[in-house]
Structure 1
Amino acid sequence: MASLIGRTPVATKSPVSHRRALLALGGGNAVEWYDWMVYGLLASYIGPLYFPSDSSVSETMSALAVFAVGFAARPLGAIVFGTLADRMGRRAVMLFSVGSMVLSSVIITVLPSHESIGLWAGVILLASRILQGLSTGIESPLNSAYIVELAPEGRTARFGSVISTYVQVGIVGASLVCFLTTSMVAPDAMASWGWRIPFGVGAVGGLVFLWLRRALPETLRTAGERQAEPARVGQVWAEVWQHRLALLTIVFVVAGAQAIQYTWTTGLPNLARSAYQEDPDTVFLVSTLAGICVAALYPFVGRLADRKRISRTFIASRLAVVPLVFVVLAYQRPGMAMFTVVMLAGAPVLAFTMALYNTVAATLMPTSCRVTGVGLGYAIGVAGFGGTAPYLLLWFQDLGADWAFPVYGAVLCLLSVLFYGSVLRRGAVRVGS
């Protein structure tokens, strides 16, 4: 289908301009994901310090509950800052997104424990995660919209896969830094203060890409869509409501991807460490290797989608994920060999699930309400289905209903295909699909 949106003047600039924009955009996105994932990976260290109890599993689940609450802030971030991005421009909101993530990472790095300041420790930790939720609520949808508006014709999926690769760099970086930290810091010191090191690393990286993002061009006003003044808030939300089926589709496109994403990147590693008492060094190493495998597959998925059409590649890959998600059932008892097999087997599942979902979501909304619509759908999908995935995985495991979680993930994937097919048949997909 031919593109139905205007292209920005940026798209006509040299490849060097594109590379610089992708570095600033993708690098900031990598830092966002790094900071977000570090908390999930270190939940088993954070829980005892901020939510002490008689059970290590309960402490970890309390920390993961805060992880999930952070996701609940994403819809608010999408609503407030998505509307600003559609009214005033993309660039300023991008700067806010990275800046607020840096601030929250600094706070967590220096935050005293429950033993020092009592309940305030957990309250401040929760507030920091909410700030991160506001930030990440707008980061991914804003990046997706920006890429669709920046990419030259016929290379939308490839540019989108580059951003997905940066996301994976952030996730892998989180696992790698955690692995290096646990390798160099003694176990007692790691439990006491060493877990703070990865958060400090993320704060420094965020400052670097905050500076780089200052030079990003604005893409809101395209040659065919110039306006004398910014759109009113009511106009933006009226358009979102007009495209409500697309909004619902975005929710499930994101939900299927994020439920599987957090199962592999957060749920399984925490299951290994807290429930099965696996060696944390080995767990972080395996998580890092799995993440590298996923990142290596992203460019292939992007090229395939541009060649075969985004819609066809998305539908085929999402349907293929349905049976593959049941591989999590193989890890039901302690054993690093099986954990390694499950994590590496999940690499192609994650690659085909995660490489396209952001680009697909961005093609479902017009430019004038793209960040708001994609941001709201993304936030609902992540908050409702992504952030809760690690908790549900451990919960079903604790109940002895291991089979329930892969069924849950498979149903989400099938619903995403059903809704996307409905929008596609109506001709509402807006970029070369």
Structure 2
Amino acid sequence: MSVQAPVPTQPGSVLADGLPAVAPPITTRRALLGLGLGNTLEWYDWMIFGLLAALIGPQFFPSDDRVAATLSALAVFAVGFAVRPLGGVLLGTIADKVGRRRVMLWSIGAMAATTLVIAVLPTYETIGVWAGVVLLICRLIQGASTGIEAPLSTAYAVELSPEGKEGRAAGLMSFFVNLGILLASLVSFLSSLALGTDAMLEWGWRIPFLFGAALGVIVVWLRRALPESLTEEDKSEAATQGNTIWGGIGKHWLGLVAIICVVGAAQAYNYAWNVGLPSLARGAFGEDPTLVFAITTGLAVVLLIGSPLTGALADKYTLSKTFMITRLMAIPTIFLMLLYTEPGILGFAAVILGGSVVLVLNMTLYNVVATSLMPKYCRATGVALGYGIAVAVFGGTASYLLVWLQSKGLDWVFPVYVAVLSAISVVAYLAARRSSGTFCGK
């Protein structure tokens, strides 16, 4: 894929760090990989913690109750989401003022470093409560850095895409996101298959984290080849028109509300399928972890293949129409999880794979839809703020809420909750379009 930047009005002008004032087309393999693999790393690192929660829990939060230990790990998983809005606002403001490229480099560097710390972190048995404290700090840093990664990289791809090809940008970014999900499941599966359950519980869980840290070093190197999409002309135009970042967000407040709803519903569905149900299978129902990882790997393959197809669909039938239809399809599909309320690996497989097609339709489009609801001069901050709030409130709590409700015999509550969120997201999106319009896509 090659994405094109606008023609510069002042040829030869440069930014302070020596980059062109107007970004050249991204045509090199290194630059494309750097853009996409950042999303891969974010989702790999984030998903690996969720997938291994049932194994990590007893290492850092000792308990005689396996479900309680899993819930402790999932609570740390959820807390990491709480700082996403703060990280999104701080780093988004920098990205809107200084530029996209440097912020994307920082976010990936922080993610790689903290993943390495988790990989080598001593357990509770060795350093006591400090094990859990350091783990929590790492997750908070990861939450702050990833608060900007997904919304900013998607905005970056859209800004350098030809008009009318936003669906292709969505498909590209989603492909790399789902590559991260696939790698998380695949590395976990292969590690479990090679080492066995006992070794995975004792030390094998560290291997997937070491893999993520190594991937992070590669991504930082690749991203150094990225051009800057926020040009001097963009900054000058915003200043001339008196547009400020927070003034723009206030003006388009309904768009911010819609972003929260659009992202929140998709993330609640996503984390239920990719983290909540697998954690339920391993932590509460005692399913064979190797089989669970094999099934989640199959889910990731469906997501990976479906991403570019969904992007092409959006370009053919318009982004807005494709989004609304696929989001409404999520409402009945989420109730599939009611088929898995007791141990049984076949039931788990049927639910996970049965909901996979609708999941990929929703996960491919939500970030580009969110990007379309904010103008460029405040896009990084506005989308990151809405994304961070949505993921913290709805995504980060989804897996914990699902497992907790199941333990209380209230299995039916979670799908109703996600179905209502999905319906609200469509209404909010339509209201924002009517109020402010959209700033990319149709």
Q: TM-score, normalised by structure 2?
A: 0.93
Residues 26 and 32, structure 2, Cα contact 8 Å, conserved in 1 = no
Query: Which of residues 333, 352, 374 is equivalent to 2:361?
Result: 352
Q: Name the structure 2 match of 1:3.
A: none
Q: Name the structure 1 match of 2:224.
A: 214
Secondary structure class of the residue paired with 2:224: helix
Q: Name the structure 1 match of 2:60.
A: 50
Q: 1:61 to 1:31 in 2, by over 3 A?
A: same
Q: 1:67 to 1:226 in 2, by over 3 A?
A: closer
Query: Which of residues 102, 111, 117 is equivalent to 1:101?
Result: 111
Equivalent AA in structure 2 for residue 27 of structure 1: L
Residues 325 and 349, structure 1, Cα contact 8 Å, conserved in 2 = no
2:376 matches 1:367: yes
Aligned-pair distance for 1:347? 1.0
Aligned runs of 1:176-255 on 2, under 5 Å? 176-221=186-231, 223=233, 225-227=234-236, 235-255=244-264
Equivalent AA in structure 2 for residue 87 of structure 1: K
**Take 1:227 and 1:324, find their aligned partners in 2: how far apart are those partners?**
47
**Take 1:268 and 1:160, find their aligned partners in 2: how far apart are those partners?**
26
* Contiguous gaps of at least 5 residues in structure 2: 9-19
Aligned-pair distance for 1:399? 1.1
**Take 1:214 and 1:379, find their aligned partners in 2: how far apart are those partners?**
25
**Percent pairwise identity:** 50
Equivalent AA in structure 1 for residue 373 of structure 2: L
Residues 22 and 163, structure 1, Cα contact 8 Å, conserved in 2 = no
2:401 matches 1:386: no
Q: Name the structure 1 match of 2:329.
A: 320
Equivalent AA in structure 2 for residue 174 of structure 1: A
**Take 2:254 and 2:278, find their aligned partners in 1: how far apart are those partners?**
36
Residues 23 and 229, structure 2, Cα contact 8 Å, conserved in 1 = no
**Take 1:278 and 1:57, find their aligned partners in 2: how far apart are those partners?**
13
Q: 1:191 to 1:377 in 2, by over 3 A?
A: same
Q: Name the structure 2 match of 1:134.
A: 144
**Take 1:228 and 1:15, find their aligned partners in 2: how far apart are those partners?**
24
Query: Which of residues 402, 410, 419 is equivalent to 1:410?
Result: 419
Query: Which of residues 116, 129, 133 is equivalent to 1:123?
Result: 133
**Take 1:247 and 1:180, find their aligned partners in 2: how far apart are those partners?**
41
422-431 or 57-66: bigger deviation = 422-431
Q: Name the structure 1 match of 2:98.
A: 88
**Take 2:23 and 2:225, find their aligned partners in 1: how far apart are those partners?**
17
**Take 1:8 and 1:237, find their aligned partners in 2: how far apart are those partners?**
28
**Take 1:216 and 1:222, find their aligned partners in 2: how far apart are those partners?**
17
Residues 88 and 384, structure 2, Cα contact 8 Å, conserved in 1 = yes
**Take 1:190 and 1:21, find their aligned partners in 2: how far apart are those partners?**
36
Residues 155 and 380, structure 2, Cα contact 8 Å, conserved in 1 = yes
Let me know the Cα RMSD of the aligned residues: 2.0
Aligned-pair distance for 1:48? 0.5
2:274 matches 1:265: yes
2:288 matches 1:276: no
Q: TM-score, normalised by structure 1?
A: 0.95
Equivalent AA in structure 1 for residue 161 of structure 2: A
294-303 or 422-431: bigger deviation = 422-431
* Contiguous gaps of at least 5 residues in structure 1: 1-5
Aligned-pair distance for 1:189? 2.0
Secondary structure class of the residue paired with 2:236: coil
2:46 matches 1:33: no
Secondary structure class of the residue paired with 2:438: coil
Residues 8 and 149, structure 1, Cα contact 8 Å, conserved in 2 = no
Residues 238 and 377, structure 2, Cα contact 8 Å, conserved in 1 = no
Equivalent AA in structure 2 for residue 214 of structure 1: R
Q: Name the structure 1 match of 2:319.
A: 310
